[in-house]
Amino acid sequence: MTHGVDFEPGETPPCPKATAPRLRVVFAGMDGRFSTVPLQALARRHQLVGLVHSLPRPVRRGWLVDWARAGSGAGNLRRFAEYLGCPFFSAGRSAGRGLTAFLQQVRPDLLCLSNFSFLLPPEILEIPRRGTINLHLSLLPRHRGPNPWLWMFHDQDRTGGVSVHLVDEGEDSGPLLGTLEHEVPEGITAGELADEVLPRAAELLVDVVDALACGSLLPVPQASPDGLRRARFVPPGEALIDWPTWPASRVSHFLRGASLWYEPFPPIPGFVRRYGPALPGKPEDPPGTLRQAMRTGWVACCDGRVPFRLQAVPRELWRLGLPLALGAGLWALA
């Protein structure tokens, strides 16, 4: 039997891909490439018999920003289900009974999660014949929880990782089936890191599923999480930066890496701030001061500043322009 820990992509898997049985798999995640990259890799090797879309946690940023950023729900995953010709289910946190019926109908061998937004009850975990596994973007037990990369950048980790584990009733606490490590260079953005890590993570997931199909993996219990920070959800506006003590380099590293999940300043409808590398120098404003002129600006730090530019989000601007245009039309008719 092969232990799952340190089961690296690129190594000869315990069961050759050519002889690994194809499993009936239900894949569950959210829209976006943190789910769709592993989904595509899995669909090339195994039989996708269902896709489950989990709704993201509701976030309140102000009514205008919330309206601009509101989506249609299951965009990417619904389109993948249509392309693959497999059943689709969109699950909220109260959709346990419907999800149970969906899984009982498609009868999967395995349920695979990646970037799934809520914990599953035991009655759902018991349905797949070979269990439920999860792809988590940290070296467990470090950074258990919904926001591993946010806290990885916050804590200045220079080594990150990916874990595939069996799902139990806890939060990212099940036995490990495979892991890999990766570097976290200073100043890298979440998008740049995703470009590097997600293809490797997807390959790891497929290798683990192949090995499970052959019965050649031995799950390994996780180490104790005592003393480790939970990678918890962070509500908008929570103060995570210690402005008087954090140097500009750390502020820049955190804001560039965690920008998908965290913004310390009030959002601007239709735009997002893209932070640049730290600029050393004598501060002219108190640390944490935001200065903005049109599409550019900076944040003052204790030993310099962090520049940023405003990047337009066309879809949000279109949604914001629609009520403005309607309002102008009604005004003209009045």
More confidently predicted of 102 and 118: 102
Query: Do residues 202 and 29 lie in contact, with contact meaning Cβ atoms separated by under 8 Å?
Result: no
- pLDDT at res. 317: 72
Q: How far, in Å, are 110, 250, 282 from residue 19 at the CA level? A: 18, 48, 63
> Which pLDDT tens digit goes with each residue over 269-290?
888 899 999 999 998 899 999 9
Matching residue, tokens 């089961």: 7
Q: What mean pLDDT is predicted for residues 247-267?
A: 95
Q: What mean pLDDT is predicted for residues 82-90?
A: 94
What is the CB-side half-sphere exposure of residue 101 using CA atoms within 13 A? 6
- pLDDT at res. 322: 54
Reported confidence tier of residue 62, pLDDT bands at 50, 70, 90: low
Q: What mean pLDDT is predicted for residues 41-50?
A: 96
pLDDT exceeds 60 at position 74: no
Share of the chain above pLDDT 70, in %: 83
More confidently predicted of 77 and 8: 77
The architecture of the domain spanning 2-218 is: 3-Layer(aba) Sandwich (3.40)
Please name the helix (run of DSSP H) or strand (run of DSSP E) that holds residue 266, with its range, or none. Answer: none
Would you list the domain boundaries of the chain? 2-218, 235-334
Reported confidence tier of residue 330, pLDDT bands at 50, 70, 90: very low
pLDDT exceeds 60 at position 6: no
Q: How far, in Å, are 85, 116, 134, 142 from residue 27 at the CA level? A: 14, 10, 10, 24
Rounded to whole angstroms, the Cα distance separating 36 from 14 reads 26
